[in-house]
Structure 1
Amino acid sequence: MRQELGINLLVYKEKLDQGTAQSTLLKAIKDQGISLAEVRREYIKEASEFQAIAKEVSQNDMTLYYSVPEKIVEDKVPNKNLTTYLEEAKKMNIQNVKFNIGSLNEIDQAGAEELKDILSKYEMTYTIENDQTDENGTFACTKETLEQIRKYELPIGYTMDLGNWYWQKEDPEKSFKELKDQITIFHLKNIAFENEKPKTVMLEDGLIPWKKMIEVLGDKVKVLIEYPMDEEKIADQIETVKEAK
């Protein structure tokens, strides 16, 4: 693959659920030859973890993204806690923050200007993501949101989560074809069905032709592996992606 490859800390979900701090896992990612990682806000339990993460990123010469499972816009105005999330990101020297869409697809001029003013105060980039919810996960909502971003010239990119489409009974191939030119970050996972319900699986075991998608993504798009797995499988999954042509 041509694009830079990164790891979302969800790959260590079992450890995170057991209380392992994300700061203690970053060196393991770097030791796999990966310099781009995405930490998850829902697993940061102590304020001291922000400084611990920043220290590990600096010592291991890594680039860090921040996944915030909160709406960037609520009731057509910026989330009242948006500055709090961005201040957290600043403490960790984050380069990109990812949010849920919320009602960004319905934002008006006043709300857009307020949002733009808040985001302009920080030296980082921002993305929204199609998640697994009815509110933020449909193709229609995602497309409308990206149209609003263009209309109001908001400094917000797009993290496409490849697997999440199945939770909304959407077609990932159709969605990718329609939105691929607007993708700035690509969350890579594959999906199979068990009892008619989607579940994440190892990349080579799923239904999505992800290799063909990576082929046509722009060189500047960052590709992040983002699905839980047994720790001993991480190295193999990294190689599977790197070898994709």
Structure 2
Amino acid sequence: MTVSSSEVQRAAVVIVASAFGADAIRRDGHAVWAQAAARAGADGFEVRRELFADETDAQPEALAQLGAHIRAQGAWAVYSTPATLFRDDGALDSDALRLAIDEAAALGARIVKLQLGGTESAVATDAVTLDRLMSGISTSKARVVVENGQLKAGGTIGAFEALFGALPEASGLAMTFDTGNWHWAEQDPLDAAKRLSRHVAYVHCKAVMGEGARRFAAAPANGDARFATLLSQLPNDVPRGIEYPFIPGVDVSLDADAARQVARIAAF
């Protein structure tokens, strides 16, 4: 039997905790749903700090227990925090970076993800700031990535280009490319992929339905050529995270839909 190149190069798939529903995660805890992610065939599970039921969930011992549980399922962890790498005035938030790195280390995460933040146009890229940033990142065992958010502040192509253009190649910082968030920030996802692809180390996968404030994340449609073209512009050897809701129905369980979506995202 001949193995195709697409099978050999299958991207690792991560299930983002929120795909199971924010209320379910807060009610049951991440550990329960990490098991569901493993049953679905996911390689990794993204822990979302904002979905902790209590601040005690973010304490080192609790994170270590959760990380051990995820690894026991045969999966690895991503740690996501809603904290921004840069403050509203564009200045580096070293405390937020340090806390995210420390919490990710306690979890044993492979990747730690923050939002970019900053002003609507830029973040600080002076030499002192960049030195502090790289020094902070150098303490992390996890890959540090910043994600494009749904606001213009931290969600424009230009801000990411300016930051990565100012950093040396070996800065240690990479990007989470969210395929859907660009729409909220009124940016062209395909243009973003062409300009930022070489900095991408993790992809958040979702399609977007609706318009304006009524937009919402959804699974890419079968045969979605635009989504397939977008992914083709991004590295095919980086993990792909599912960040749209699983939809159980009369004829399909939540577990079955999760497994189906893992297979679909791996195959795109």
CA contact (8 A) 1:4 1:222 kept: yes
Instruction: Pick from 63, 83, 100 the counterpart of residue 70 of structure 1.
Output: 83
Question: Deviations 1:176-205 (Å, cap 9, x if unpaired)?
Answer: 222223211111000122577422122117
CA contact (8 A) 2:14 2:43 kept: yes
Q: Report the equivalent of 1:242.
A: 266
16 and 143 in structure 1: CA distance in 2 versus 1, 3 angstrom threshold: farther
CA contact (8 A) 1:193 1:199 kept: yes
Shift of 1:111: 1.7
The secondary structure found in structure 2 opposite 1:105 is coil
Q: Report the equivalent of 2:251.
A: none
Instruction: State how far apart, in whole Å, the 1-side matches of 2:172 and 2:213 are.
Output: 39
CA contact (8 A) 1:71 1:79 kept: no
Q: Report the equivalent of 2:45.
A: 37
Instruction: Pick from 28, 36, 40 the counterpart of residue 28 of structure 1.
Output: 36
Instruction: Pick from 98, 117, 128 the counterpart of residue 113 of structure 2.
Output: 98
Instruction: State how far apart, in whole Å, the 2-side matches of 1:8 and 1:164 are.
Output: 15
Instruction: Pick from 192, 212, 222 the counterpart of residue 175 of structure 1.
Output: 192
The secondary structure found in structure 1 opposite 2:117 is coil
The answer to whether residue 236 in structure 2 is matched with residue 219 in structure 1 is yes
Q: Report the equivalent of 1:201.
A: 218
Shift of 1:172: 1.3
Give the letter for the 1:51 counterpart: A
- Out of 109-118 and 77-86, give the one that drifted further: 77-86
Is there any run of 5+ residues in structure 1 with no aligned partner, and where?
A: none
Instruction: State how far apart, in whole Å, the 2-side matches of 1:72 and 1:196 are.
Output: 25
Is there any run of 5+ residues in structure 2 with no aligned partner, and where?
A: 1-5, 249-253
Deviation >6 Å, runs of 4+: 205-208
The secondary structure found in structure 2 opposite 1:173 is helix
The answer to whether residue 116 in structure 2 is matched with residue 116 in structure 1 is no
Shift of 1:146: 2.2
Shift of 1:161: 0.3
- Out of 161-170 and 14-23, give the one that drifted further: 14-23
CA contact (8 A) 1:98 1:126 kept: yes
Q: Report the equivalent of 1:56.
A: 69
CA contact (8 A) 2:45 2:70 kept: no
CA contact (8 A) 2:112 2:145 kept: yes
Shift of 1:208: 7.1
Question: Deviations 1:113-172 (Å, cap 9, x if unpaired)?
Answer: 122222212212111111001211122222222223347x52101111000011012211
Q: TM-score normalized by structure 2?
A: 0.81
- CA RMSD of superposed structures (Å): 2.4
Percentage of matched positions with identical amino acids: 20
Instruction: State how far apart, in whole Å, the 2-side matches of 1:51 and 1:192 are.
Output: 37
Aligned residues: 243
- Out of 64-73 and 229-238, give the one that drifted further: 229-238
Q: TM-score normalized by structure 1?
A: 0.88
- Out of 20-29 and 116-125, give the one that drifted further: 116-125
Give the letter for the 2:70 counterpart: V
Question: Deviations 1:14-46 (Å, cap 9, x if unpaired)?
Answer: 444652211221111111111211111111223
CA contact (8 A) 2:116 2:147 kept: yes
Instruction: State how far apart, in whole Å, the 2-side matches of 1:33 and 1:26 are.
Output: 11
Q: Report the equivalent of 1:134.
A: 152
| Mapping of residues 149-164 of structure 1, within 5 Å | 149-150=167-168, 153-164=170-181
